[in-house]
Structure 1
């Protein structure tokens, strides 16, 4: 599949000689006119990187973008990909959504060969939750010495539907193949914007961070030279099924939209023929088939699938075997990564256990009993159940905190490249008061800068003059240093502590905290809990 995508991009013609000093960039399938801003950054928004994945191209690998001989004003972001659960008529979304944005210093040219930061947004693989972030803040923090690329990819029903029918007449994990297509696009075209295709650093948060690991382990850890380092924020280790285990999702969809086996012979062809608004109206999550009468639907149902191709095994097993690309990596998480996901009314261990099994359907009664013992009642908050923070602690460590430490340990064991782990502990007064603590992916607002993420997304304390404004240059210093040199220490802000590498025996990580960023050793309680959760990671299908 990778060879196919590479061939598609390389077969559509030779590249003209051009540079990003001119906002008009001529690709061999279309020309895009960007905008040079007074910030010193030129931006190209809404560049199509693949053909519209419509009709017969639903649930197939991305195809080459169509030829368009007109000059396109690249002044608007492309529409966001459709999510699951579905909203039938959201004007900001579309099935035709495979677009990317490029941000480059206006002084860059085809000869500058600047490092490239290629960012993969999160959203649980069911929504594009970080679209349209502006790369200007990162470029400025990097002394105008990097290029930033971000993009949309297919998610949910459209990105991760898996069944025997899809295997027979389509492709699995097409959302990941979209991401791979962008990596190939960067290899082919980024020199025209001033970038260096041999110096690409992947970034990503949540499912984007999980995507980084899936590309590091893709095809059993095959290195195709598409990137040279990776920095993951709050990477998720979700429940991963194989194709046969995913069949129930497909069967449920075809029945509810009238494409069932008793009605049509080609059920997948029937799905491809349906109006997308009708599909979206019927696009929702259902419980796992073994969940029992009390089961609820998982937060994120459609997930990357073990298909024997792109994904050959569970992430934990691939890490144990050393089956991953050996490049420098950053992985880390927020102190309270589970709080935004768990039911605030959780009051009993029975309710906590049901939530965990709803997300990880392979968990056994014995594993649940051990989880209950490991996570005693925690602090309580008004308008919340007595065990909300307890289930949040369990879910946060199982899905986020402990897996990232496992990545660090595997990389420190198998790789000669650098390995850095962090804990983000910047406390926003409002989030603390509401009981969310330092929640999942909040660090993304500091890395990009509060003005460069979605309007209103960043905590109020992150803005200039507020209590946590000082963390912005600190974390941007480490991140842009890593992008530029594969080491977060090279260009870190003066006065920032050295970020010591992680090892499985020392367990040193950097704690980001306003005016108190420092190294720490993981406390023994979390070490013990993570040791258990990592030991059952394959059994819990992570």
Structure 2
């Protein structure tokens, strides 16, 4: 397929390890019951641009006893051990074990459960600030907390806010769906890491001058799916108060793409392949299997997990995923939305115009290949489902007037498949989220290219195009859009709504479905585009979203 990988796009913006330290240290943060950490002061972004204002940062701080040795493949349950003295927190910690060809920089380790804090320099720690806690994306298999430049986000904000980023276990180490792990209660370890960290922040965020009652939980892609799983987990009877006050779901949702049950045959096949290559007997008793996995060389686990992921990537049937019916996903997302059983917290949900164009395969040429792709991805779809799908997305080879007959360097079915998968995986789930949450909800379509390679036009505005715009990265193709987009998000973090501190001259962003956001009976969303940012009626592909969001079909789509 004639296009760069998503990893290459992200790496082109994030070129290396953090730099731009000056001689002034950040204040010492004292974590009660753990110890003191001295940070650093930043003057440059991760990509090497000068920050608008200096930022204090504490980097690479552990938030749990690390999941190594007998704690490999176990839920985290304890914070780090107490220590004396003052520890250095001026460099990033290791990232979680993953395919080494994807991450742009950094040491890898199983001992990777660490976090980073960014705060405006000079603001006393006694002033408790609203805080954005960001969950990184990467298909639950890749990247790390450092792929979000918290320093640039903080430095660019007109109002004092903080950013916290962190790592959680990835690929098979964090998400190993299997009968073994179902029986042992070890599913969804990565989601449980996230929840543990949110609990940790309720105690320790004040040490950095953050307000635990004013946390915005956000994420991109798998990070947004994760934030959605945490947001919608209440089911009307969660323990205590919410661990955050509001959320940003950037290209993600509780019903995003598909999350098969743990019993899916592909998961069991992946598990057995992993066991075979690390010399463990998948037919031994449960305790023997677990002991063998915990003793297996981490290098071999990484190698096999990465190979299985790479082999599945083009089919969009990713291995190493969270599964419903397990901790933090006890109910399917479609059921949660239908029952409306969740905390009603302010929410921003976004999507890009052409989400699927970094994912969908480009070699498909015929209608049969198009339908076979969907049968393989969602085996539960029946003959009627496929007939409706065929009618909603007309074959450009048979219908020259099809909106997906524009042409590209890829196969005949590329634009058609990209549109259908975009709707199924991201765009329609975002709409369903906004419709279910109502009230204090804002929806956005991002329509700005994120990388110079998208200038050819046929790539459109695909998934993650908005990543670096979030933190006002100076190196993006349209810096004025970065300033505008960041200001909306920073206002939401600071004030709980995106308009109070929006950029000068920026249009008001109406609530989705609110009185100001339902002109002529149509819900309004913001569209962010160079020189043309404004509101639009959210009425594009309504019939298509009715198909993908249908309650009766949700089970067949594994939503």
Equivalence for 1:12: none
**Is 1:96 the equivalent of 2:116?**
no
Distance 1:334 1:296 in 2: 20
8 A Cα contact 1:335 1:437, kept in partner: yes
The offset of 1:325, in angstroms, is 1.7
CA distance in 2, matches of 1:229, 1:330: 8
Matched residue, 1:311: 329
1:26 to 30, 39, 52: 30
What whole-Å deviation, never above 9, does each CA across 1:232-291 have from its counterpart, x for those lacking one? 11115132233333544433422343212456662122111101011122225769xxx9
In structure 2, C-alpha distance between the alignment counterparts of 1:445 and 1:166, rounded to whole Å: 36
Contact 1:109 1:192 in 2 (8 A): no
Deviation at 1:87, TM superposition (A): 8.7
Partner of 2:480: 470
Does residue 433 of the first structure (1) align with residue 456 of the second (2)? Answer: yes
SS at match of 1:184: helix
Q: In the alignment, what sits opposite 1:238? A: 257
Q: Distance in 2 between matches of 1:121 and 1:438?
A: 20
Unpaired segments ≥5 residues, structure 2: 1-23, 44-52, 397-403
**Could you state the TM-score of these two structures normalised by the residue count of structure 2?**
0.83
Matches within 5 A, 1:290-369: 298-369=316-387
Note if contact 1:473-1:493 (Cα within 8 Å) is conserved in structure 2: yes
Query: Following the alignment from structure 2 to structure 1, what is the Cα–Cα distance between the partners of residues 146 and 374?
Result: 29
Helix, strand or coil: the match of 1:37? strand
SS at match of 1:32: strand
Partner of 1:182: 197
SS in 2 for 1:501: coil
Distance in 1, matches of 2:162 and 2:260, equals 36
Return the alpha-carbon distance in structure 1 between the equivalents of residues 300 and 72 of structure 2.
15
Match for 1:406 among 396, 414, 432? 432
What is the aligned counterpart of 2:498 among 475, 488, 508?
Answer: 488
**Contact 1:380 / 1:386 at 8 angstroms: preserved in 2?**
no
Q: TM-score, normalised by structure 1?
A: 0.85
Aligned to 2:413: 387
Deviates more, 1:371-380 or 1:239-248: 239-248
- Secondary structure at the aligned position of 1:103 is classed as strand
The size of the alignment, in residue pairs, is 498
Equivalents in 1 of 2:368, 2:413: separation in Å?
10
The alignment partner of 2:305 has SS state of coil
Distance 1:174 1:103, change over 3 A: same
Cα drift, residue 70 of structure 1: 4.4
Whether the 8 Å contact between 1:285 and 1:300 is mirrored in structure 2 is no
Which residue of structure 2 lines up, in the alignment, with residue 128 of structure 1?
Answer: 143
Q: Which residue of structure 1 lines up, in the alignment, with residue 75 of structure 2?
A: 61
Q: Which runs of 5+ in 1 are unaligned?
A: 1-19, 452-457, 462-467
The one-character-per-residue Cα deviations of 1:112-160 (angstroms, maximum 9, x if unpaired) are 1110100011111121266343222222332251010001111211111
CA distance in 1: counterparts of 2:123 and 2:219, whole angstroms: 24
- Distance, in Å, in 1 between the alignment partners of 2:373 and 2:459 is 18
SS of corresponding position for 2:164: strand
Q: CA RMSD in A?
A: 2.7
Residue 373 of structure 2 aligns to a residue whose secondary structure is helix
Q: 1:157 to 1:358 in 2, by over 3 A?
A: farther
- Map of 1:13 onto structure 2: none
Show the counterpart of 2:301: 279
